[in-house]
Amino acid sequence: MTFPATHLHRLGWRGIIKVGIPSLIHITMKILIAEDDSVTRASLRLTLQKFGHEPRVVQSGQEAWETLLVEYFPVLITDFQMPDMDGLVLTQKIRARPQTEYTYIIMLSALSSRDNYLDAVVAGVDDFLAKPLDAAIMAARLHVAERIVGLQNHVKRLESIMSICSYCKKVRDGDRWIDMEEHISKKYGTKPSHGICPDCYEHRVKPELDALGISMGQSGNDGPQS
């Protein structure tokens, strides 16, 4: 499945780059890192930059939450144990809020407890990275994240297909009904062109013209005739 460049840019993707892992081509993504350990934080940042991604680092779950409230990131890499707000609570808050775009959450932890793993999955974590970090495994995880985020967001766009009034043809925009032209201009930043399709001309326009005694010119007569 392919996605339009405009959507990729809006969803935090910048372009396509190759990484030093055989058979893996990555789309450059904005990735938020929530990690309280400075060494791990620096290692993650450097590795992601090497892959061509755009990492943003914060030191706690609370900082990550505040960042996500004002900016969209396709991927979040978060530690399990952090002061202020741990990765589990952060994940629960992200999954509980209404979202128009999906954030793929990778849990980073040295913990191998079965209970911790199950709690993270139930909370909404998508994948896991074990410490110490393995660059090749991280590249593969991010490759999966790109595919899942793209599919999730594509589904959300399909779910939000506009609702049109059967009579006046206005479009639902939240609690309002607005003209189609206004909806297209607002959503896509462009103005629609107008025309008459062959079916409408034959079954609606032509009968109205005939009733008025107006005949459209044929075979070179391109003006209305009476």
CA distances from 153 to 3, 31, 148, 190 (A): 10, 16, 9, 22
Domains and CATH numbers, the chain: 5-159 (3.40.50.2300), 163-194 (no CATH), 196-226 (no CATH)
Structure confidence at residue 22 (pLDDT): 41
Checking if the pLDDT of 92 tops 60, the result is yes
Structure confidence at residue 1 (pLDDT): 42
pLDDT over 90 for what percent of the chain?
A: 31
Structure confidence at residue 16 (pLDDT): 39
pLDDT tens, residue by residue, 2-24: 444 444 444 444 443 444 444 44
Who has greater pLDDT, 221 or 195?
195
CB environment 195-207: b (16+ within 10 A), e (fewer): eeeeeeeeeeeee
pLDDT tens, residue by residue, 174-188: 778 888 777 777 766
Structure confidence at residue 217 (pLDDT): 58
Mean pLDDT of 109-130: 82
Structure confidence at residue 216 (pLDDT): 67
Position 111 confidence tier, pLDDT thresholds 50, 70, 90: low
Structure confidence at residue 108 (pLDDT): 85
Structure confidence at residue 198 (pLDDT): 83
pLDDT tens, residue by residue, 136-177: 888 888 988 988 888 877 776 655 666 777 777 788 777 788
